[in-house]
Structure 1
Amino acid sequence: MEQTRMAIRQLWETWYGDIPGWVPTNKNVLAMEEIAEANALVDDDQENGELHFDGESFQPGQERLIKLSDQVVSLSSAGDYVAARKSIGMALHTLQDFYAHSSWVEALNQKNAGDRIYPGLGYPNTMIYPLGPKVKTCSNCRAQVAVFCGDCDGNIKSIDLTSGYYSGEPAFKKKSSAKCSHGGPLDFSTMYDLGIIDSADLLFGKEYENGSISDPSAPTVYDFRISTLQPHKRDLVARAAVLDHKMHTVVMADNVHEHGKALVQARVGGNRKLYPIQILKRDSHGDEPSPDDYGWREIAIATGGHLITFPENETAEANALLDILSRPNHAEILSVAATSSEENPGCEFIFPIDSSLKSLVISTSGVSSLKLFNSNGSPYSSSSTTDTNIRRVGNTIALNFTSMTIPPPGFYRISLKSTTHYTLSISGESSLSIVSFYLAEAGGRPQHRAYFPIPSYPIVGEKSMVKAHIHGNFTDAKFEFRTKGGALIASQDTVRREVDPEDTATMFYGNSTAIPEGEFMAYLTGINDDGDEFQRVVPLMLSSSKLKLTAPTIQRMTAGEPQKVTIGLTNFNSVPDTYDVFAVDSKDSIVEVTHASVYLEPGASGSFDVHLLPKTNSTIGMTGIVFGAKGRTTQGNMSLQRFVLEPEAKPLSYSRIKYHQYANETGQLIERLKMGKKR
């Protein structure tokens, strides 16, 4: 993963230099992490040797690189940049494994040829053919102790190109003891001859920076194409569209069944985009909330956003409000959702403003009034109110402070009055922000481990790994778990800023405290370099469960080919329950869920199968499936599994192949490279 980050940082400098917006920003870092994570996840598949160039799989490995390269182009052309980045990450893993798992570097050393790339690797006009099965490439290592590597110096017996065989890859089993093994304590291809051991623009996040509505022709999260934000100009259908608007996700919401809402919620949470979800919904019920509103309100609250209901005659005002709420490069400072009553309508919150903030937006919904006070209790008043934009649409109020009107650093108090459900969000443009934050679990095969986001709700009482990126300058800081109402639950490990001029953000790894029961949020508090106290919040709300849900990582799926996925359930509640299970996806690939429900005693485990058959005319690219289980008396869980849907399998067109590289001609190839001849 670090090799991938280093390469991307070098590309930034080469391609964009110091062009404004293309210095490594937090959104570019998020794009980089998407590529790096996709790279590492390839190690979850240890059955297909061509993913790693194991077992002399040079021909299928080269075909894989060519197809992934084509896929990056086609996905980018279709506007699916997240899927294109995933394809880049998978290709980079295979590319890196060529140099780690093959004897190319050793062959260069024998010829004193220095460092050279293998010509044609990954290019569509070149094919690489392996040695014959009887060609000897390695001898046994010496001084072998148990399964640990012994003295393997000089055991490669051929200048020809070869790679190590790894146990568990059925298509590339070792055919002779004279062939090399991959090596390492977990490779059981042999116990004695452990030979070789591990020695553009939008793709890199620019679409996160643009601040424009997504291409209306691009596929949305719930099979709906939308041409405008003005709801009265489109047909009323029971679907939802998710758009990216200036870094914020906008959901145009009509009546959608619960499974559709689950898909939207899992999609926006699974993508870990750390900005609020603003949900626009026409208000057709006057002041009384519609029963349908509550599901959408929960999704908005889960990401720090608002459910903005408005009458049709305020459509233009709603769009203007959206522009205020959806400012790019905003860092969340406070995110609250709670309920007031007529008996206790007042509520107050204290928050800091620090010197890194260049603007400020205070937005709230479900309130009748809001007031801002200085730390000494006096009402805050701006010296230049002309630059302070106050806008109210339907049930939402927004105060927009520009660089000219933002209050000076210090602590401020905000007072709200509400007799119903309300939400409050405070954010500002800042160089100090949380780029990413998630609870993680180990993934990849042993000896190739990395930490990846937990795809489902964390389990109550467990201690997950916290993985975070923090952009900007600060001294000491710490993470905290708080309720959505703002109450402190627990403090995490102290975060210290990494002083590395080549790093784009402080990377934090630490163990969380025990996962609390219920819903909670992650805050970061500390001191910035100017000595100001600052506060940042991850707007995505975390929800814990006592039902553990496990699903395999799906990386690839081919249109027209059936696939079965088995979902495991374990009940950690102290009472038995019946869990109604479901699966929903955005490409209509699900054929059947084998059980409608699963009954589990306390501590018991069960499973259900989901049969998939993606259609041959499906739009290729990144998609996702939500596997869920809803308890009848206890809380359920759901997991989002993402994969790239590939086009219907077709053989590689060998008419494109112009150059044929043969492993047994490696020595001659190196000599030609030394002499400066291409081929």
Structure 2
Amino acid sequence: MTSVPGLALLTLVLSGSTMAFVPNGGGTSTHVSITATALLDKVTETCRAVVEAAGHEFNPTGPSPDELVQACLGPMATGEVSGAKFHSALQEIYVQHGLVDHDFANSAPHHFNSEAFLEGRGLITEGMATIKANIRGENFKAARETLGRILHTLQDFYSHSNWVELGHTDPYINLIRPDLLLENLPDVDTATCSDCPSGTCPNPILPNVLKDKMLTSGYMGVFSAAKPKGKCSHGGAGDLTSTVVPRGGISKDERRPDNVAVHNAAVKAATAASLQLLQDIRLAAGDKEFLRMMGIARSSVVCFVIDTTGSMSDDIDAAREVAYEIINKNRGSQNEPSEYILVPFNDPDFGPMIRTTDADKMKREIAKLRASGGGDSPEMCLSGLQIALTGSPDNTYIYVFTDALAKDIHLKGTIMALIMKTQSTVSVYMTGHGGRRRRSIRAASFEDYKQLALASGGQAIQVSKNQLPQATDVILDTATSALVTVLQRARSPGKQETFPFLLDESLKNITIYITGTSITFTLTNPAGVTQSHNQASGSLATIQTVGNLRRIRLNADNQIGTWQINIVSSQPYTLKVSGQSTTTFIYDFVERFGGPHPGYAVISGRPLAGQAATLMLTVMSRKGPSLMTIEDVALVTVSGPETHSNGTTTDMGNGNILVTVDLVPEGEFVVLLKGTDKESKSDFQRQSTTQISVSKVNIQAGVAGSVEPGEAFELPFSVMTQGSGGVYEIEATNDRSFPMNFPKSVTLTTGVYTNATLTITPPASTPSGTDVTLTLEAKSASGADSNYVVLRLSVVTKITDFFQPKCEVLSVLADDCPKTQSECGPFQWDLMASLTDGNGTGIESISLSQGAGKLTTTSLTEPVVHVNYTASCCSQIVELIAVDKVGNVGKCYHSIVRSAGPPALTLSLPLCLFLLLFAFITRG
């Protein structure tokens, strides 16, 4: 049964712009709607279990993502809690449906077409093992991407096969259980369908196939009409085989008058199967890790990238102090970071990354940092930053501390691509003037740090070492919940300019940052009250100046309305206005594609130049999107002469908007959104932080599965340009330094894709669950145009253990339990059981899924693990969950609920007299 939050949140799904079952709604279920139903129900169920296990009441105040997250986080979530991370996690799963249809349209296993049952099941079970390994390694983004792909394949089974025509109503558990056989599969010579000239016959499957419970699926021909004799087709305009006898098709992707019953049955079975798969992953991961994968988190992730060379002693002390202050100030509040990340770098070393949700552990790790070595050379700053960008969740705030320029400046293009892909914000704190001698091929400068920071929406702050502690207040500002950007602009060279910005009722803790030198400014509120730069504490704000940074914190009063800041400087400067609010948005650039299941696919790199840009944009707020009106979405340049390219919006309902911009600005731009909160009648504006530009180059590549340690993995990719043809350079990097082979250049003809292959080989010692981020870039010989694709590969040891742990109940002592529940209080019952993993990898964990008693076990390293469970007679059901070391889940269930006997026969007095009289007469 779908919960109320699940039903309400489901309305946030883009019903009209995502992929099959079919791309458009019209009353037909889509992959996204099925996935949303399952995900939101499972998240709600898990949240309820976690909150109630902690002794609190789970009671969302409403249906919005923010309210569900707030209820899920329990009493800690007392302030502004944003549902943006949860929404982003859902979208990362949803968009995989489009990528499967886009990248693997002709792959039978990905869609269970052409009777590819064993291969399709292999994709699902391999994907489940990958997800579990990724969760154990805290690689949640990789887990979400794989989850979206295998849910698509799993759901396609029910639409593309004859499972529901065979009369099945429950999911086919064998698809997620590789230890169970797939039965009744026909061979290639067995005919399965009768001819259907109209293409819309109610049930063209042959009677003997139905009688023998034979499992078949439709053949799909994207490029060829060939299929084995007598076989069913998928059907539809995109299937060339559907015109070959037997004509028609058995796909239930779309609800039609001739297939309403089987379409509805397929939707129901696909939803139940998705819930079944999610429950298996949840049990293997545990409730808290499952929710982390789903983006249910208190606040932002804070990441420190710290130079540890000999001259950095003071800087390390300052970074340590600000980390301690963040931890101590926010511990136990909704502003406590959900995760802490630390990446040290030196020369020539960088890393390793340290990730933890334990604040005290992060304190201990930062306390270990010592400045040593390095000499007078620049350091491996960008290598450390690359690890941070690939290992941190998207939208992380990353702070780099260094007193040197980057030695590894050749990674700048990779860093730019990763910033655009992850939408993380990078701020650089540089002490001194970068005076250490450069020995890189291309001389680096502080300008490189400024460009990286500006591209991400961060700041490049240059201060002396003794000023650094005062400059770190910016980190305290951003280590908070529900941070949004109202405005960001940059000018180089500087000039006098007035920047208006709109503040709304929902914004709190509003701060303005200006970086640059020789700057004066005047701040004006909506009432016309002004404050100049030389008034450190005025009627409008408190101004702090440290190095090249001005931090302007607005006072609490008189915030609503249009403000202005007039800046005067001949030197380059940046401006940023931010605050806390649950009113925000997320977006993706997408492209329309055709084929059997047309729809929209997310663009990994830069949008293509010379054509309209399309965005899928989702707006959210604390009370849900129904209380907001979106009035304008535009692409706006951040630097140089400011240009606005307004978009044409199509309201998809419930905060989802399809935006088309015919003329994309030249240069770097951001997304600017304006609207009105209907409840407060307050106008608002929000801006994305990451800068984007278009390119005439396009790279296409997709990940089909996981990678095995020690095995070469081939990744085909294609490159095309709409610009001038010729030789284009290919650059590829990965964040694990795994060896790769790829062509260093390709020769392109305008408008034609050129195919190539990259080979990457993880060392045999790579731990299972490791993910590697691969950045592939193509750029013109002049370097004037380039584009990239960022892919995540999961390294997973080949699974040979497919068997669930087994449970045997040895004894149950429940004789003392009274027959009535009202008297159960003082009495207890006991259960003893043994758990084994056969010839598998061994049991890793045993936990209670149901039951309120005490659980004790012998050592998990033993071949047979003995379990003792003791509970009050009031708690009459127990379910144990045993997970082995590769994530197979076994269950042990027992109930002492006494079944009621047959009801006593009660007769009315007249009926009794009648029966006595009848007996007397018949005997007489």
Structure 2 residue aligned with 1:487: 642
Identify which of 457, 474, 486 aligns with 1:333: 486
The answer to whether residue 705 in structure 2 is matched with residue 556 in structure 1 is yes
Higher Cα Rg: structure 1 or 2?
2
Shift of 1:571: 4.9
Q: Distance in 1 between matches of 2:215 and 2:449?
A: 56
Partner of 2:761: 613
Distance 2:522 2:433 in 1: 29
Map of 2:97 onto structure 1: 39
Q: Distance in 1 between matches of 2:727 and 2:190?
A: 59
Please say if residues 359 and 406 of structure 1, whose CA atoms lie closer than 8 Å, have aligned partners that are also in contact: no
- The aligned residue for residue 131 of structure 1 is 185
Q: Residue 311 of structure 1 is aligned with which of 438, 453, 464?
A: 464
| SS across alignment from 2:351 | coil
Q: C-alpha separation between the residues in 1 aligned to 2:94 and 2:755?
A: 31
Which residue of structure 1 lines up, in the alignment, with residue 574 of structure 2? 423
Distance 2:293 2:791 in 1: 18
Deviations 1:97-129 (A, max 9, x none): 1211222212227xxxxx422345414553423
Partner letter of residue 365 of structure 1? T
Aligned to 1:666: none
The CA distance in 2 between the partners of 1:542 and 1:380, in whole Å, is 34
Q: Could you say what secondary structure the match of 1:67 adopts?
A: helix
- Please, which of 154, 159, 171 is the counterpart of residue 100 of structure 1? 159
Mapped partners of 1:181, 1:495: distance in 2: 36
Deviation, 1:590, is 5.1
Give the direction of change, closer, same or farther, for the CA distance of 1:28–1:137 in structure 2 (3 Å limit).
farther
Q: Which residue of 2 aligns with 1:507?
A: 656
Q: Return the TM-score normalized by structure 2.
A: 0.61
Aligned partners of 2:590, 2:350: CA distance in 1, in Å? 30
Q: Is the 8 A contact 2:648 2:660 kept in 1?
A: yes
Q: Does 1:442 align with 2:592?
A: yes
Partners of 2:291 and 2:451 lie apart in 1 by 35
Q: 1:397 aligns with which of 550, 558, 574?
A: 550
Q: Which residue in 2 is equivalent to 1:162?
A: 215
Partner of 2:293: 203
CA deviation profile, 1:469-492 (whole Å, cap 9, x unmatched): 111332241111222147233211
Kept in 1: contact 2:483–2:578 (CA 8 A): yes
1:397 to 1:369, Cα distance in 2 relative to 1, 3 A: same
**1:349 equivalent in alignment to 2:493:** no
Whole-angstrom distance in 2 between the partners of 1:319 and 1:127: 60
Deviation (angstroms), 1:411:
0.9
For residues 165 and 224 of structure 1, the distance between their equivalents in structure 2, rounded to whole angstroms, comes to 51
Gap regions ≥5 residues in structure 1: 110-114, 501-505, 659-679
Report the AA paired with residue 38 of structure 2: A
- For residues 805 and 86 of structure 2, what CA distance do their matches in structure 1 show? 35
2:610 to 416, 436, 461: 461
Deviation at 1:558, TM superposition (A): 1.6
**Pick aligned residue for 1:67 from 126, 133, 148:** 126
1:467 CA displacement:
1.3
Offset, 1:335: 0.8
Matches within 5 A, 1:252-291: 252=400, 255-271=406-422, 273=423, 276-285=425-434, 291=444
Q: Is the 8 A contact 1:480 1:491 kept in 2?
A: yes
Equivalent residue number for residue 245 of structure 2: 192
Which residue of 2 is the match for residue 87 of structure 1? Answer: 146
Provide closer, same or farther for how the CA distance between residues 555 and 601 of structure 1 changes in structure 2, counting only shifts above 3 A.
closer
SS of structure 2 residue aligned to 1:106:
coil
Deviations 1:331-360 (A, max 9, x none): 21101111245xx4x332111111121331
CA distance, structure 1, for counterparts of residue 172 and residue 748 of structure 2: 55
Cα drift, residue 405 of structure 1? 1.1
Aligned mates of 1:621, 1:450 — CA distance in 2? 32
Letter in 2 for 1:613: T
The 1:628–1:374 alpha-carbon spacing in structure 2 relative to 1, beyond 3 Å, is same
**TM-score, normalised by the number of residues in structure 1:** 0.81
- The 1:235/1:482 distance shift into structure 2, 3 A limit, reads farther
Counterpart of 1:626?
775
1:225 aligned partner: 352
Secondary structure at the residue paired with 1:405? coil
Query: Residues 270-326 of structure 1: CA distance to partner in whole angstroms, max 9, x if unpaired?
Result: 13x3x6332333434489999422222212111221112333444544443212134
Q: Distance in 1 between matches of 2:394 and 2:590?
A: 28
Q: Identify which range, 226-235 or 557-566, moves more after superposition.
A: 226-235
Which of 4, 26, 43 is matched with 1:12 structurally?
Answer: 43
Contact map agreement 1:303 1:541 (CA 8 A) in 2: yes
Residue matched to 2:70? 21
The 3 A distance-change label for structure 1 pair 37 and 406 is farther
Change (3 A) 1:571 1:392: same
Distance 1:294 1:391, change over 3 A: same
Task: State how far apart, in whole Å, the 1-side matches of 2:407 and 2:299 are.
Answer: 30
C-alpha distance in 1 between matches for 2:117 and 2:755:
38
Aligned: 1:140 with 2:140: no
Q: CA, structure 1 residues 628+223, in 2 after alignment: closer, same or farther (shift >3 Å)?
A: farther
Which residue number in structure 2 is paired with residue 293 of structure 1?
A: 446
Residue identity matched to 2:446: D
Contact 1:331 1:536 in 2 (8 A): yes
Q: Contact 2:134–2:143 (CA<8 Å) still a contact in 1?
A: yes
What does 1:407-418 correspond to in 2, within 5 Å? 407-418=558-569
SS at match of 1:587: coil
Q: Do the aligned residues in 1 keep the contact of 2:135 with 2:293 (CA within 8 Å)?
A: yes
Question: Which region of structure 1 is more displaced relative to structure 2, 65-74 or 298-307?
Answer: 65-74
The residue aligned with 1:76 is 135
> Distance in 1 between the 2:204 and 2:730 partners?
57
Displacement of 1:393 in angstroms is: 3.9
**How many residue pairs end up in the alignment?**
626
Q: What is the 5 A alignment of 1:496-645? A: 496=651, 498=653, 500=654, 506-529=655-678, 530-546=680-696, 548-559=697-708, 560-572=711-723, 579-589=728-738, 591-595=740-744, 597=745, 609-618=757-766, 620-633=769-782, 635-645=784-794
State the alpha-carbon separation in 1 of the partners of residues 214 and 98 from structure 2.
Answer: 25
CA contact (8 A) 2:417 2:790 kept: no
Asked if the contact 1:358/1:430 (under 8 Å) is kept, the reply is yes
Write the distance in 1 (CA, Å) between the matches of 2:762 and 2:298: 29
Aligned partners of 1:245 and 1:57: how far apart in 2?
Answer: 35
Percent identical among aligned pairs is 20
Determine if contact 1:125/1:657 at 8 Å carries over to the other structure.
no
**Separation (CA, whole Å) in 1 of partners of 2:108 and 2:301:** 42
Deviation at 1:517, TM superposition (A): 2.5
Instruction: Please give the secondary structure, in 1, of the residue aligned with 2:526.
Output: coil
Q: State the Cα distance separating 1:432 from its structure 2 match.
A: 1.7
Question: Relative to 1, partners in 2 of residues 1:475 and 1:195: Cα closer, same or farther, differing over 3 Å?
Answer: closer
Find the aligned partners of 1:47 and 1:604 in 2 and give their Cα distance. Answer: 20
How far apart, CA to CA, are the structure 1 residues paired with 2:94 and 2:117?
A: 23
Displacement of 1:155 after TM fit? 2.8
Does the CA-based 8 Å contact 2:531-2:539 persist in structure 1?
A: no
Q: Is the 8 A contact 2:162 2:250 kept in 1?
A: yes
Distance in 2, matches of 1:465 and 1:154, equals 40
In structure 2, do the counterparts of structure 1 residues 406 and 260 end up closer, same or farther at CA, with 3 Å as the change threshold? Answer: farther
1:462, CA displacement in angstroms? 0.8
